[in-house]
A and B are shown apart, each in its own frame.
Chain A
Amino acid sequence: MATARVEQPARVEQPARSPGAERATPEALAQDGALAQDGARGWVMVGALFVCSTLVFGLIRSLGAFFVEFVQYFQESAQAISWITSIGVATQQLCSPLGTALCNAYDTQRVVMAGGFLASLGLILASQARSLPHLYLTMGLTSGLGWSLVFTPMVATVMAHFTRRRTLALGVGFTGVGVSSFVFAPLFQYILDNFGWRGSLLILGGLSLNIVPCGALIRPTRKKAPPPPKAGGKADNGGGASAFRSLLRRVYRYLELSLLAHGPFLTYTLAITFFNAGYFVPYVHLVAHSRQAGYSEYRAAFVMSATGAADIVGRVAAGWLTDLGRARLIHMLTGWTGLTGVFIVLMPLASVAGSYSLLLGFGLGYGFCAGALTSLVFAGVPEIVGMGRMVGALGLLSMLESVGGLLGPPLSGYLRDRTGSYITSLVVAGCCFLLGSLILTALPHYFSWTAPPPPRPPDGDGQEERQDAGAGLLGSPTSGSTNGTASKDSDHSQTCLA
């Protein structure tokens, strides 16, 4: 990693030093397209990601304020009402590959704008609901689909805009989730008190519409028509069957299904799935566990708030720390996840020992490390699958890791019911993190100080388009369109070394 980094600046910064004269050459344009985006444009995208994560995940987390209202209006059980958010979250995660496939096929700007419109439409239609299934369809499916078209493409866009500061950018962008849960809780209560749940859903729909300007900030790419079929490439000559087959091939390529056979990607996804299984358990069970251990409601809630604040700080700090480049991202990720597991295991032991300050301390540590790992999880993807397949990889990763998120909390709830206390469930959650860290060490080239060579896409066919897709997220009109293959490879390799 050190040697590669030393070479890089000398090679790349040359064009930047004399921008006027060198700008016109194709090589400089290629590198310019990747490097210069570390600048103002990229940070604008970070701001857009901040707003989007606020309006997607911050909103989802704060929907609990509607719970009581729905129970009273529809006179349904708590379980039936909680299906609304479950459907929404599940749709968002399962449709992530669809979002990234649409980005590969069409313009990211349009996809995100459409997603924002869909999410807000779902909430607006939900305000007219007269029955619970109506809410499942609107707040659950429609908004969930909209959110899936927004979140992963925004993350992919931010990652494409940064090279050296990628993790920090992601960390800053993701702080939106934490900040908004502090802001939305009182805000939602206020609008619920004044407008009831119908008016509140309408206003939330309007708020969600703010995703559309964030999407508009993404510079549109001028996607060229697919290149003419090369010899030996897609066989487009005549006939409906081969047109269908070429459509299937395009779908296969857009969804990056080739990644399902990619060993390192599957290893990484398995580790992230374990992290996801353990991630939400402390949020759900910690307050109840503290109450059970005898602490007052106020003290337990304070531990949670402190954890949330540490989470926000952890995201930014870990992002900055990773981009210093002292250690490889994958090593730092292992460190953060291992620490998270350790803190989760220690938390119930602290409350059993009866020390509130220890519990608070471990809670802060857990919050910090949990936030830290969220910044790194996505930033580690290009190192494993390469810049060209990054977009699809993000979608597939989101979808597959959701399995952990769906199974984890019910499993810990089951453990709690069986044993009668939260200690077992929290310890198991901590072990999920430790197990995931171990799985990470199984990645290729793990035990080396320098980063591995960037992975090559599986076949030469469509290589240009995939690199177009990766570079096309940058939105500059000349990226990838006028350059020869040599300069494209240089672009490809330098952006892989996160």
Chain B
Amino acid sequence: MLHPGVKLCAQLLLLSLSWGGTHSTGGPGSTLPPVVCGPPLSSDVRSVVFKGESQVEEVQVVRPLTLALECTWTGSQDRPHNISGFWRKDGSELADSRRPVLLENQQYNLRQAFSITDEEGLGNYSCVFDNQAEVDFILAAPRVGEVRDRPIVSYVGDSVVLQCKMEDTKPRPNSWTWYRANGTNKELLDPEPDSPRYHIHNQEGKTKLTVRNLTEADSGAYYCGAVYDIGVTLSRVDLRVITFLEPLKPFLVIVGEVLVLVSLILLYERTKAHGTHPGTDNIWNPRPPGTPDHLGPRPPGTQTTWDPDHLGPRPPGTQTTWDPRPPGTPDHLGLRPPETQTTWDPDHREPQTTWDPDHLPPGTPDHLGPQTTWDPDHLGPRVLDLSEGYTHTTWDPDHLGPQTTWDPRPPGTQTTWDPDHLGPQTTWDPDHL
């Protein structure tokens, strides 16, 4: 039986070429009365001349029409006078279409008119010559050419615009429809005009579907349908809705890597910076706060040498040695009897009154000026019974006695030079240690 969408006209209709317009019921030279197959349709003709084995021709069909397809074949090596030709649709031969074809002007000619009334009339029509050569006419409604092959990715709560645009070179559809895939079916999307979620906006040749407040259930395939008189062509757009957690994971991985790198680098720099450099300013590490870099200007008239011979302006005629000792003075002065003074000046026999390290009157400054005495008795820490409390002397170049403490030094500190132990040095210079 004939395919339901095709009606084979009994007579050939030769036609004028108006693509999209008027009816024409006959052409020049046609003596037969017009045979109208069904309701009045617009008409068009497509013809192909070819040599080789096969050819493909695409035909755009927008509205129901009567389409005449014509194939002209130049034949193969041997050209028999009489061959058979027939028409096929979608692979199956059309009944009553096989007829003999005569060689005219070295060519074979097959012509057939088809009445395309609805979507089922579209398809793949072929004219076949003698099972040797054929031309495929692909009748189809215009489809949207630029199809996005990757899904559109959007986020929960966000909005997305799905759009379809028919190229300007193709005929514009009458209208657009949207479908949503539901299992194997496609359900029509027909939102109310004030629907909060969906909004369809159609323009010339363009359609946009806006979906707001996305949820993950909105993922899936959407179809925009270009509506023509002949039917609807669908074009697929995929939507994928994800939560913000998805890109957050690689992001957090990268941020973690950055934090690790930065910490490593800063840690490395800090451990390198703590090593001592020769020539740095840190002489005494850690130095208590407030300790000056330099110990201040040396009082005028003082010397830095620890020279028992030069303890100050020596009165003329005195000796440079430590002897003679005042009579009765022991060699080793031992522990001082309490209540006694500690000064014992080899140059000045009488007890001194300038300073007594055990009994410093209140208000005595640390640096007592150019002292000329040194006290071998003062072997221990300074007695902290001063009214001022905590005296603060760093070193006193005149205090040449062997101190064992150097106030105020916090415990556990280092000294590179120790003003107490000048030992067999004859010079010490706080500037060059």
Contact = CB atoms under 8 A, between A and B. Distances in A.
A209 B258 contact: yes
Interface residues of A, number: 30
Interface stretch (B82-90, B259-267, B334-342, B405-413): B259-267
Contacts of B432: none
A109 B284 CA distance: 29
Contacts of A195: 153, 242, 246-247
Interface string B71-82: 000000000000
Given A23-B278, A24-B279, A73-B161, A206 B152 contact: no
B154 A216 contact: no
Contacts of B250: 203, 206
B255 A206 contact: yes
A75 interface: yes
A219 B273 CA distance: 10
Interface in B183-212: 208
A345 interface: no
B254 A203 contact: yes
B251 to A, nearest CB: 4
Contact of A193 (B150, B154, B158): B150
Given A72-B161, A203-B251, A24 B258 contact: no
Given A72-B161, A196-B153, A207 B254 contact: yes
A56 to B, nearest CB: 16
B158 A198 contact: yes
A149 B98 CA distance: 81
B163 interface: yes
B331 interface: no
Could you say which of B158, B244, B254, B255 has the most chain A C-beta atoms within 10 Å of its C-beta? B254
A210 interface: yes
A23 B278 CA distance: 9
A478 interface: yes
Interface string A162-205: 00000000000000000000000000000011111011101101
A357 to B, nearest CB: 34
B277 interface: yes
Contact of B279 (A198, A220, A478): A478
A435 to B, nearest CB: 43
A477 B246 CA distance: 46
Interface in A211-244: 212-213, 216-217, 219-220
A97 to B, nearest CB: 27
A196 B251 contact: no
A482 interface: yes
Nearest to B240: A196
Contact of B251 (A24, A75, A206, A210): A206
Interface residues of B, number: 32
Interface in A390-409: none
Contacts of B251: 202-203, 205-206
Contacts of A198: 155, 158, 244, 247
A212 B265 CA distance: 11
A70 to B, nearest CB: 12
Interface string B233-263: 0000000001010111011101101100110
A195 to B, nearest CB: 4
Could you say which of B150, B251, B279 has the most chain A C-beta atoms within 10 Å of its C-beta? B251
Given A203-B254, A209-B258, A478-B277, A217 B265 contact: yes
B265 A199 contact: no
Nearest to A192: B153
A72 B247 contact: no
A195 B366 CA distance: 75
B247 A203 contact: yes
A191 to B, nearest CB: 8
B379 to A, nearest CB: 38
B96 interface: no
Could you say which of A73, A196, A477 has the most chain B C-beta atoms within 10 Å of its C-beta? A196
Contacts of B262: 212-213, 216
Interface string B140-171: 00000000001011110010110100000000
A202 B153 CA distance: 14
A205 B250 CA distance: 11
A210 B262 CA distance: 9
A203 B155 CA distance: 15
Given A216-B265, A217-B265, A220-B269, A209 B246 contact: no
Contact of B265 (A200, A209, A213, A478): A213
B416 to A, nearest CB: 16
Contacts of A202: 247-248, 251
Could you say which of B246, B258, B280 has the most chain A C-beta atoms within 10 Å of its C-beta? B258
Contacts of A193: 150, 153
Given A203-B247, A203-B251, A478-B277, A213 B258 contact: yes
A199 B247 contact: yes
A203 B250 CA distance: 7
A23 B277 CA distance: 10
Interface in B300-344: none
A205 B252 CA distance: 11
B158 A209 contact: no
Nearest to B153: A196
Could you say which of A24, A199, A200 has the most chain B C-beta atoms within 10 Å of its C-beta? A199
A140 to B, nearest CB: 21
A432 B328 CA distance: 105
A193 to B, nearest CB: 5
Contacts of A219: 269
Contacts of A213: 258, 261-262, 265
Nearest to A109: B269
A24 B155 contact: no
A24 B255 CA distance: 42
Contacts of A29: 279
Contacts of A212: 258, 262
Contacts of A192: 153
Contacts of A24: 278-279
Contacts of B247: 195, 198-200, 202-203
A159 B294 CA distance: 38
A131 to B, nearest CB: 12
A184 to B, nearest CB: 15
A206 B153 contact: no
9 smallest beta-carbon distances between A and B, as pairs: A199-B247, A196-B153, A206-B254, A213-B261, A216-B265, A195-B247, A206-B251, A209-B258, A24-B278
18 contacts: A23-B278, A29-B279, A72-B161, A73-B160, A73-B161, A192-B153, A194-B153, A196-B155, A199-B242, A199-B247, A205-B251, A206-B258, A207-B254, A210-B254, A213-B262, A213-B265, A216-B269, A482-B279
Given A72-B163, A210-B258, A478-B277, 18 more contacts: A23-B278, A75-B208, A198-B247, A199-B244, A199-B246, A202-B247, A202-B251, A203-B251, A203-B254, A206-B258, A209-B254, A210-B261, A213-B258, A213-B262, A220-B269, A477-B280, A478-B279, A482-B279
Interface of A: 23-24, 29, 72-73, 75, 192-196, 198-200, 202-203, 205-207, 209-210, 212-213, 216-217, 219-220, 477-478, 482
Interface of B: 150, 152-155, 158, 160-161, 163, 208, 242, 244, 246-248, 250-252, 254-255, 257-258, 261-262, 265-266, 269, 273, 277-280
